[in-house]
Amino acid sequence: MNKKEFLTSLETRLKKLSNEEREDILQDFSEHFEVGKAEGKTEEEIAHSLGSPGQIGKEILASYYVDKVETSSSTTNIFKAVWAVIGLSFFNLVIVLGPFIALVSLIVAGWAIGASFVVSPILFLINIAVFPDAFMLFDLFFSITLCGLGLLLIVGMLYVSRISIKGFVKYLNYNVNLVKGGMNS
């Protein structure tokens, strides 16, 4: 692979980045080639020691997506970041995907329970409408209590979701650092 092929290959992988940032990265590598050539190396030798543009692109993209989640944590951003970090290595597949699935299930379950508690008085009313004979005061009060509990749970879940997202982004970041050469845990 010569300099042009290397840079083109890297460029296609960095399409998602802003023009400015992509140019900056390509400039760094272009400089690397020029200095190497001035020292008498061939473009092929330099490209070979640099390693695969694919892997370099992956590393750059992963930290790009994680940065993006930090500024705005929309669902698509989070999924993109998770995916990008997983792409770094098999190690991350195990260590990122597992906790992510667990966390998402817990949050979804929490919301589902909260919501079903809140609607329980409505279910009670439907039950009365369908079977008027089945009216029991205990059921009424029980469903009202559940409704209150559900409301509390939902408010709680709001906080839990927000904190989990923040925590998980930190965890992602830690993983990127780990893979990309950080020792700061």
Partner 1 sequence: MNIQFKKGALELCVLALLNKQDHYGYELVKKISDRIAISEGSVYPLLRRLKKEEYFTTYLQESQEGPSRKYYQLTDKGRDHLNDLLKEWEHFSEGVNHIIEEGVSHE
Answer for the pair 96, 86: CB distance below 8 angstroms, yes or no: yes
Residue 71, amino acid: T
Q: Which residues bind partner 1 (CB under 8 A)?
A: 25, 27-29, 31-32, 34-38, 49-53, 55-56, 59-60, 63, 67, 91, 177-184
Q: Which is nearer to partner 1, 82 or 179 (CB)?
A: 179
Residue 159, CA distances (Å) to 86, 144, 177 in order = 27, 23, 27
Q: Which is nearer to partner 1, 25 or 82 (CB)?
A: 25
Answer for the pair 64, 17: CB distance below 8 angstroms, yes or no: yes
Residue 140, amino acid: L
Q: How far is the CB of 170 from partner 1 (least distance, A)?
A: 14
Q: Which is nearer to partner 1, 13 or 80 (CB)?
A: 13
Q: Which is nearer to partner 1, 70 or 139 (CB)?
A: 70
Q: How far is the CB of 147 from partner 1 (least distance, A)?
A: 48
Please list, in sequence order, all residues whose beta carbon lies within 8 angstroms of the beta carbon of residue 72, skipping any fewer than 6 positions away.
Answer: none
Closest alpha carbon to 103 in 185, 180, 170: 170
Q: What is residue 40's three-state secondary structure?
A: coil
Q: How far is the CB of 160 from partner 1 (least distance, A)?
A: 29
Q: How far is the CB of 184 from partner 1 (least distance, A)?
A: 7
Query: Taking every pair of C-alpha atoms in the chain, what is the biggest distance, in angstroms?
Result: 95
Q: How far is the CB of 78 from partner 1 (least distance, A)?
A: 20
Q: Which is nearer to partner 1, 132 or 181 (CB)?
A: 181
